């Protein structure tokens, strides 16, 4: 067995390919068998040891160290709802590593011809760099040159030098656009920061952080129908569509104004979507820099935060919005604040009921006929095309304040703070007279018990 050290930023499969070629083997399977024999892994327990575990032994590295330096897993798993406390490449994550450890970050195998030339001069061989395989990367950061790529990912097992002439070149124009776009630059900077981390972010933490930012901009932060701007539409408006189709193709096909859970869900779902792209896109859009985004994500949300005071909605604003919406709650609700419930309660408390209209039915016409044109109850109900009982209900809602006052007149409230004394304190003698006892001590005692129990 000829062993090798992985080269700087070398992708796991590139290292595997070099081991295969140097040992005169033909396949991945052949290398795994040879490595398992070399590492003395017993046949019976071979299924428990993942390929990455064998590669890190060959590289004489800790598993977590190898995973963090040579796989794209820290980025692909950067936001997760599944065991977020588990560090990347930890010993407990063998089954996860076996399934997803060596997956590709994107289709195709990317390389830089200048890096290939330099590597041949420096190491006598070329290799695939991990950074070039990241989502959205189209240029080599060292040589500022557009990357070349091969469509098939099997290419990683061969040297990139064998594809210099038979590969596609990312166009200069495309690479320049990506280089100059501040949102794409933030996306890439955040991706590289995430790749460097030992642990993923819990989706629940990301949701809180992103939700706070989106709410501050007045964007929709839930999955219901809304007139507020959608995060998915904002991403579409702020990133080039061609580029988006390389990092999140489903989003590029989305219709404007339609909630798209795979993207908008980062603000309200507690389980992660199929990819980390929507989280990184949201961070790129909602924060000015990668530092700012990472700092916000690392805020300790386990510490109790001061409760935000709920700002009471001004009755004048509510009334104005109600008039503008012609009494239809559905048209008032999204405009004033995030809590539909508090707006509804606010309107009800000032005696402004919901006045929906459907087909020939108009609650607005019925109540206008009654209150403004002084028609009778039955005439007003007929004009609005509503049941008499519906109109009565609306009028009762309108007379909310009167109804509350009348309720209190007919049944005065009791209890603490109501001003009505529940038990008149007795003197010890009175207590004795009630119980029929003249023993002052026991009477006093029973009075105390009464008061404590009260």
Give min distance, CB of 241 to Zn ion, in A: 27
| Per-position x/- string for 60-99, each x denoting binding to Zn ion as judged by CB under 5 A, each - no binding | ----------------------------------------
CB-facing half-sphere around the CA of 84: CA atoms within 13 A: 14
Give min distance, CB of 137 to Zn ion, in A: 11
**E strand or H helix at 157, and its extent?**
none
3-class DSSP state of 366: helix
Residue (79 or 128) nearer to Zn ion, CB? 128
| Per-position x/- string for 178-207, each x denoting binding to Zn ion as judged by CB under 5 A, each - no binding | ------------------------------
Which window, 107-115, 220-228, 250-258, 365-373, contacts Zn ion (CB under 5 A)? 107-115
Identify whether the C-beta of residue 368 lies closer than 8 Å to the C-beta of residue 345: no
Residue 112 touching Zn ion (CB under 5 A): yes
Residue 142 touching Zn ion (CB under 5 A): yes
Instruction: Give the bridge partners for 357, in sequence order.
Output: 362
The residues near 10 (Cβ < 8 Å, ≥ 6 apart) are 70, 127, 128, 129, 130
Residue 314 touching Zn ion (CB under 5 A): no
Which window, 139-147, 307-315, 346-354, 356-364, contacts Zn ion (CB under 5 A)? 139-147
Residue 113 touching Zn ion (CB under 5 A): no
Residue (142 or 396) nearer to Zn ion, CB? 142
User: Rounded CA gap, 343 and 311, in Å?
Assistant: 11
Q: Quickly list DSSP for 384-420.
A: HT--HHHHHHHHHHHTHHHHHHHHHHHS---STTSS-
Residue 141 touching Zn ion (CB under 5 A): no
Q: Which of 30, 60, 91, 114 binds Zn ion (CB under 5 A)?
A: 114
Which window, 58-66, 140-148, 257-265, 301-309, contacts Zn ion (CB under 5 A)? 140-148
> What is the 8-class DSSP label of residue 304?
P
Identify whether the C-beta of residue 32 lies closer than 8 Å to the C-beta of residue 69: no
Residue 439 touching Zn ion (CB under 5 A): no
Total residues at interface with Zn ion (CB under 5 A) = 6
Residue 291 touching Zn ion (CB under 5 A): no
Residue (145 or 228) nearer to Zn ion, CB? 145
CB-CB neighbours of 415 under 10 Å: 8
Give min distance, CB of 165 to Zn ion, in A: 17
Q: Which of 98, 143, 204, 222 binds Zn ion (CB under 5 A)?
A: 143
Give min distance, CB of 118 to Zn ion, in A: 7
Residue (61 or 140) nearer to Zn ion, CB? 140
Residue 140 touching Zn ion (CB under 5 A): yes
3-class DSSP state of 175: helix
Residue (146 or 432) nearer to Zn ion, CB? 146
Which window, 5-13, 138-146, 256-264, 410-418, contacts Zn ion (CB under 5 A)? 138-146
Give min distance, CB of 93 to Zn ion, in A: 32
Residue (113 or 244) nearer to Zn ion, CB? 113
Identify whether the C-beta of residue 246 lies closer than 8 Å to the C-beta of residue 171: no
User: Rounded CA gap, 260 and 273, in Å?
Assistant: 11
Six-digit token string for 350: 């000032």
Residue (147 or 277) nearer to Zn ion, CB? 147
Give min distance, CB of 113 to Zn ion, in A: 8
Residue 39 main-chain phi, psi, to 5 deg: -85, 5
Instruction: Give the bridge partners for 292, in sequence order.
Output: none
Q: Which of 7, 115, 280, 332 binds Zn ion (CB under 5 A)?
A: 115
User: Rounded CA gap, 205 and 197, in Å?
Assistant: 16
Residue (142 or 168) nearer to Zn ion, CB? 142
**E strand or H helix at 449, and its extent?**
helix 440-453
3-class DSSP state of 224: coil
C-alpha distances out from residue 15 to 28, 128, 196, 256, Å: 11, 8, 19, 44
Residue (170 or 395) nearer to Zn ion, CB? 170
Identify whether the C-beta of residue 109 lies closer than 8 Å to the C-beta of residue 162: no
Which window, 64-72, 113-121, 157-165, 378-386, contacts Zn ion (CB under 5 A)? 113-121
Q: Quickly list DSSP for 49-118.
A: S-HHHHHHHHTT--HHHHHHHH-SHHHHTSEESSSTTSPTT-GGGHHHHHHHTT--SSSSEEE-HHHHHH
Residue 175 touching Zn ion (CB under 5 A): no
Residue (125 or 350) nearer to Zn ion, CB? 125
Six-digit token string for 153: 């990912």
Residue (112 or 277) nearer to Zn ion, CB? 112
What does the binding site for Zn ion look like in residue numbers (CB under 5 A)? 112, 114-115, 140, 142-143
């Amino acid at each position: 067995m000829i062993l090798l050290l992985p080269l700087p930023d070398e992708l796991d499969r590139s290292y595997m390919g070099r081991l295969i070629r140097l040992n005169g083997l033909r396949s991945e399977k052949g290398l795994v068998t040879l490595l398992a024999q070399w590492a003395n892994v017993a046949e019976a327990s071979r299924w428990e040891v993942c390929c990455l575990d064998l590669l890190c032994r060959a590289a004489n590295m800790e598993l977590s160290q190898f995973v963090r330096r040579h796989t794209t897993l820290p980025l692909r798993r950067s936001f997760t709802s599944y065991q977020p406390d588990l560090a990347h490449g930890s010993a407990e994550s063998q089954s996860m590593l076996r399934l997803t450890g060596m997956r590709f970050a994107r289709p195709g195998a990317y390389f830089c011809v200048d890096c290939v030339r330099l590597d041949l001069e420096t190491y006598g061989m070329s290799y695939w760099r991990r950074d070039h395989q990241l989502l959205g990367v189209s240029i080599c950061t060292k040589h500022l040159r557009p990357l070349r790529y091969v469509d098939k990912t099997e290419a990683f097992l061969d040297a990139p030098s064998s594809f210099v002439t038979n590969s596609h070149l990312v166009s200069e124009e495309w690479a320049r656009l990506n280089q100059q776009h501040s949102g794409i630059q933030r996306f890439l900077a955040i991706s590289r920061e995430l790749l460097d981390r030992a642990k993923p972010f819990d989706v629940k933490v990301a949701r809180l952080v992103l939700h706070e930012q989106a709410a501050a901009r007045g964007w929709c932060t839930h999955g219901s129908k809304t007139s507020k701007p959608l995060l998915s539409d904002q991403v579409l408006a702020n990133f080039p569509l061609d580029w988006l189709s390389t990092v999140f193709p489903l989003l590029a096909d989305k219709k404007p104004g339609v909630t798209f859970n795979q993207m908008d869900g980062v603000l309200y779902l507690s389980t992660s979507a199929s990819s980390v792209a929507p989280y990184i896109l949201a961070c790129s859009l909602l924060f000015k820099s990668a530092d700012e985004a990472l700092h916000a994500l690392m805020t300790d949300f386990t510490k109790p935060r001061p409760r935000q005071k709920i700002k009471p909605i001004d009755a004048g604003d509510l009334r104005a919005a109600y008039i503008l919406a012609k009494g239809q709650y559905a048209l008032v609700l999204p405009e004033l604040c995030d809590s539909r419930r508090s707006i509804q309660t606010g309107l009800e408390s000032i005696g402004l009921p919901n006045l929906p209209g459907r087909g020939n039915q108009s609650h607005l016409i019925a109540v206008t006929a009654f209150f403004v044109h002084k028609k009778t109850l039955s005439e007003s109900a007929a004009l609005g095309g509503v049941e008499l009982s519906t109109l009565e209900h609306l009028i009762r809602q309108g007379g909310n304040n009167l109804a509350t006052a009348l309720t209190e007149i007919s049944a005065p409230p009791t209890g603490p703070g109501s001003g009505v004394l529940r038990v008149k304190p007795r003197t010890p003698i009175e207590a004795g007279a009630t119980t029929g006892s003249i023993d002052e001590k026991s009477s006093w005692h029973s009075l105390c018990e009464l008061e404590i129990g009260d």
